[in-house]
Amino acid sequence: MVSARAEINFERARFKAFLNEIASFVSRSSNELLSFSEVAEKLKIRSQWYKGLQTVPLDKIVGSLGRYMDFDRAFLPLQSHTKERWKKIDELYERGVPMPPVKLYKVGDAYFVRDGHHRVSVAKEKGQKFIEAEVIECKVKVPITAELKPEDLPIKEEYIEFLEQTKLDQLRPDQRIEFTIPGNYRTLIEHISVHRYFMGLEQGHEIPWEEAVISWYDDLYLPVVEAIRKQGIIEHFPGRTEADLYIWLITHWHYLKEKYGPEIKIEEAASDFTKRFIKRSG
């Protein structure tokens, strides 16, 4: 028979989950576990390989295969039908009974539970930091961290589509172009197309797409990012990325060139952009 202590522990966990829901509503931040099926579809996961038994940080487990509605982001129980199983696992933990490894998918630096949801939930509630797991790793084109939220998936999906169109991850493996605003990867495709057009005019022949991609990245994107870094602009935009600022700065640069002439350099545009922002914010 499951002890009264396990009952109390479950009710305490459910109450914490209730408080998390309120905090999430007030702060308008996501408190949901990620659905592995949705992640696999959006991130176009095609290949997997078995990594064996590993020790995994519990705070990097952010999703589930099939049971993402049963627990919140902290893996606290949300549904009453989890109660009996949760209490049994809690009782075994209290008695010091060894638990079998859970089974996880690994996507980037984030993990998703295949089997062992209640073991993860109880372990986290007990304050445990790590858990033994059998891990299957999934190959993905874009960087994924344990901070991934459901609302991030559309942007990640756009990033993958951008890489499939440009092959930039193959042409320049060190690239890392991450946006916080949807739609900007399509803007980059337009930038590359325009850059290709003007390259063709200058050279007098049609430019291969991959050559245009490389030239855009090396001769336009990277110099703009370097100007952003040199001016320290990113410090004034917490929560934004260099790619976000690239879009804003390139737009400002074109505005200045139309107003003052084509001789305006990107460094001058970056300096002007920074001064205008600091003046507004001051």
CA end-to-end distance (rounded Å), the chain: 66
Q: Against a cut of 0.75, is the pTM above it?
A: yes
Residue 145 included in any domain: no
**CA 98 to mean position of chain CA atoms:** 34
The per-residue pLDDT for 261 is 81
State whether 13 and 57 are in the same domain: yes
State whether 95 and 219 are in the same domain: no
The per-residue pLDDT for 232 is 85
**CA 16 to mean position of chain CA atoms:** 26
Residue 244 included in any domain: yes
Q: What is the mean pLDDT of the chain?
A: 90
The per-residue pLDDT for 281 is 44
Question: Which of these, 145, 144, 117, 143, lies nearest to 131 by C-alpha position?
Answer: 117
- Among 106, 138, 170, the domain boundary falls at 138
Q: Is the pLDDT of residue 272 over 90?
A: no
More confident residue, 9 or 37: 37
Return the structure tokens found at 13.
């966990």
Residue 42 included in any domain: yes
Q: How many residues does the chain have?
A: 282
Residue 6's pLDDT band (cuts 50, 70, 90): confident
Residue 211 included in any domain: yes
